[in-house]
Structure 1
Amino acid sequence: MNTVYDFQVTMTNGEQKSLQDYKGQPLIIVNTASKCGFTPQFGGLQELYRKYKDQGLVILGFPSDQFNNQEYDNIEETTQFCQINYGVTFPIFAKIDVNGKHEDALFTFLKEQQKGLLSSKIKWNFTKFLVDREGNVVKRYGPTTPPSKIEEDLIPLL
């Protein structure tokens, strides 16, 4: 696998979606959780999406329950929570593992491309990856980095 466009992901209805569908668009890929201290970042992510979607930006949210079980069991509850509380209109996908034996292949790739501080392992919810229009992972942001801090790196990719 050479770019994020080489991967397929599972949508909330269980169907597969090729990331090839986003070819030529800058992406922010983020592991999310609905009951986390960083959950308000949904608002900042939605603001970036609203501001730059017409220039091609797509944000892809991947709920994960790996950190203190901070995600709903039912994916419909997750998507409703995001829409009602933060007005999320960017794509949210099926719940996945981002670390360990059953981690999603996309996140294995993301972590190989941009290692974190001390290790490649994702340490918590709302780790964000910025991807250029060619599908290359150009930067990784920790959970404490607010979405607004990504804007400076995103603008040159639009």
Structure 2
Amino acid sequence: MSVLDLPIGTLEGAPSSLGELADGNALLVVNVASKCGLTPQYTALEKLAGDYAGRGLTVVGVPCNQFGEQEPGSPAEIRTFCSTSYGVSFPLTEKVEVNGPGRHPVYQVLTGTADADGAAGDVQWNFEKFVLAPDGTVVARHRPTTVPDDPTVLASIDTALATR
């Protein structure tokens, strides 16, 4: 079973999967939070979603409240915050845990991928980024402080898109 096949609900509670959300596209999967110092990364994520949609990229935000309880809101509050504060139009999933014994199965797969320094394991903080090829292969992992439009992230996205 591919990571694309693992069930993960939408923010609104509908059953889904990364594969359904991607619809054949490459993916940029990011654990997000509304009350984090890194929350302004939503601006660059939304720009990437718009700029790369025609090239075959889908950005997916995965709300998580594990880091300093910085995503405490209900699904409706998260959706309202994201759309009114940052104009977010890309898909958001249900709120999940990305670390620990309650780690969502999607993140059980993703956290097995090493970053550029060769370190795999737990997500460090909000806004950790995983780039997946359309077949679900994890192309790259970028840590939270690496901004979405950093050249290394863009290069990873280009690599994922080249596999289409």
Common fold, TM-score beyond 0.5? yes
Unpaired stretches in structure 1, ≥5 consecutive residues: none
1:33 aligns with: 33
Instruction: State how far apart, in whole Å, the 1-side matches of 2:91 and 2:16 are.
Output: 11
Checking the alignment, whether the CA contact within 8 Å between 1:32 and 1:64 is kept in structure 2 is yes
Checking the alignment, whether the CA contact within 8 Å between 2:29 and 2:130 is kept in structure 1 is yes
| 1:90 maps to 2:93 | no
Percent identical among aligned pairs is 36
1:17 aligns with: 16
Checking the alignment, whether the CA contact within 8 Å between 2:139 and 2:156 is kept in structure 1 is no
Checking the alignment, whether the CA contact within 8 Å between 2:111 and 2:120 is kept in structure 1 is no
| 1:135 maps to 2:136 | yes
Distance of aligned partners of 1:132 and 1:119 in 2 relative to their CA distance in 1, 3 Å threshold = closer
| 1:50 maps to 2:50 | yes
Task: Give the structure-1-normalised TM-score.
Answer: 0.92
Distance of aligned partners of 1:14 and 1:140 in 2 relative to their CA distance in 1, 3 Å threshold = same
Spell out structure 1 runs of 4+ moving beyond 6 A.
none
The alignment's C-alpha RMSD in Å is 1.5
Checking the alignment, whether the CA contact within 8 Å between 1:24 and 1:135 is kept in structure 2 is no
Unpaired stretches in structure 2, ≥5 consecutive residues: none
Distance of aligned partners of 1:133 and 1:119 in 2 relative to their CA distance in 1, 3 Å threshold = closer
Instruction: State how far apart, in whole Å, the 1-side matches of 2:160 and 2:103 are.
Output: 28
SS in structure 1 of the partner of residue 149 of structure 2: helix
Checking the alignment, whether the CA contact within 8 Å between 1:48 and 1:151 is kept in structure 2 is no
Instruction: Give the stretch that moved more between structures: 47-56 or 5-14.
Output: 5-14
Task: Give the structure-2-normalised TM-score.
Answer: 0.89
